[in-house]
Amino acid sequence: MYRLPLICRETFLEFTSKQQLMNEIIVKAMAKSLKLEKNSFLDQFGKNPISLTRLKFCPPCPWLDCVLAAKPHGDASGTTYLLQDKEVEGLQVPKDDQWYRVPLTPDAIVFNCGDQLEIMTNGIFKSPIHRVVTNKKKERRTVALFFSPELTIKFESEFEFQILHIYHRSNHENIYYQYI
C-alpha cells in the first residue's frame, strides 16, 4: 500500500476506507434480509479482511471476436465493487446461453456477491458469472475493489437449520488456491 504514488495516495486511501464502510453496510443488510444477526457474515470476514484494488486499462482492440479483456469468471472474493468507465461499456453477463451487456450508469458502483459470500449463504446469494469485452475504437478504464475474509479464518454457511449444506467449512486461502 505504501508504494502508491504520493500524488494519489491520500485520495486512494480515503476511497478504500469509504468502500470498506459501504461494504460493511451492505453485508450487514444482506444478513438482516435473511433474518440473521446483522454481523453474522461480517464476523466471518475476520478482524483484518483483505481488500484488493485492481485498476484496469483496456486499449482499443479491432479483434473483438478473438480478445476478451477478462474471460468468463465469478469473483473469488467475498464482495466486489466496480467503478465502470463512464463512456465505454465492457461488462457482460450470460443469460440463456447468450451474453448481454451491463449498461453504464453514470457515477454508479456495480456490486457483485463473490464466491466467499455465496458459500456463507449456502448458495442463497450467488456469485454471478461475468466477462469483460474490449471495444474496437475506444480504450476503457475501470476500478474494481475486492473484499475477502482473512486468509486463514474459517467460515461456513450461517444456515445451521438446513439439512443439506452445499458448501463445507473452509477458509479463503484453501478455496482461492484450489481454483487457480
Tally of CB atoms within 10 A around 82: 21
Which residues of the chain fall below pLDDT 70? 1-2, 65-66, 156-180
- Grid coordinates standing for 114? 463473490
Looking at residue 20, its pLDDT comes to: 93
Structure confidence at residue 4 (pLDDT)? 76
Residues 59/116, Cβ–Cβ less than 8 Å: no
The matching CATH number, chosen from 1.10.1240.10, 2.60.120.330, 2.40.50.100, 3.40.50.2000, for 6-178 is 2.60.120.330
CA distance 120 to 139: 37
pLDDT of residue 151: 86
CA neighbor of 92 nearest in space, from 53, 140, 59, 51: 140
Domain boundaries, the chain: 6-178
Question: Cell 484488493 maps to which residue?
Answer: 52
Can you give the pLDDT at residue 158? 62
Can you give the pLDDT at residue 169? 60
Q: Of 41, 34, 43, 64, which Cα lies nearest the Cα of 136?
A: 64
In the block, residue with C-alpha cell 434480509: 33
Task: State the residue for C-alpha cell 484450489.
Answer: 178
8 A C-beta contact, residue 116 and residue 26 = no
Residue type, 72: P
pTM across the whole model: 0.83
